[in-house]
Amino acid sequence: MNTLSSKSTDTNISTRSTKNTTKTENGTKVVASGEGADKDLFLKLLVAQMKNQDPFKPQDPTQYITQLAQFNSLENLMAIKDGMNYVANMGNGLLVNSAMSTAASLIGKNVEVFSQQDDSTQITKHTGKVENVYIEDGVINMNIKLDETGEVKSFTYDSLLKVSDQPITSDKTEEVTNTDNNI
């Protein structure tokens, strides 16, 4: 086992390095740049700093209190962030479930939907009966049996224009007035 020792004159902390890990002589792991540091590591470093300070030039105790307060604030912010992520994920799940429930209520109903070619300014309207609904890549889709051809074609839920219990008749093509191709 290769062991290297070095002594820093500014901080009075020496380190031992083996093949995979670097630790101080007190056994505290040295964290490389870019690696995560947690509260236990912070507290170990603070204790090591206090143990190894020069007794003839002690650090101002308010610095330790300031560091602890900053760390406590950071820890609270991280807890808030985790809580907000949880709430956001719950909200997204509820929205998808609500939209899926609404889309599922369309099964067996007559609908009018639109489709648009990527670079076209025209939309084509289709009518038919919703056969089933599904989620793909986070997007709700409907399989619709088209009145014109009898084929089953998939449309996104946001392409829905009308819903009815009775068959729907409409113009098949319209000019889009929206110039950015978002409908």
Average pLDDT, the chain: 77
Top-confidence residue, 122 or 154: 154
The Cα 75–Cα 175 span in angstroms is 56
pLDDT in tens, 29-56: 676 655 556 677 777 877 888 788 888 8
Side-chain-facing half-sphere of 46: CA atoms under 13 Å: 16
The Cα 24–Cα 44 span in angstroms is 11
Greatest pairwise CA separation for the chain in angstroms:
92
Task: Report the pLDDT value the prediction gives residue 74, as an integer from 0 to 100.
Answer: 83
Top-confidence residue, 62 or 35: 62
What residue has token string 């479930």? 97
- What the block records as the tokens of 146 is 């088209």
Task: Report the pLDDT value the prediction gives residue 129, as an integer from 0 to 100.
Answer: 95
Between vectors from CA 147 to CA 143 and to CA 149, what angle results, nearest 5°? Answer: 90
For the domain with range 105-175, which CATH number is right: 3.10.20, 3.30.70, 2.30.30, 1.10.3470? 2.30.30
Top-confidence residue, 8 or 31: 31
Domain ranges of the chain: 1-53, 105-175
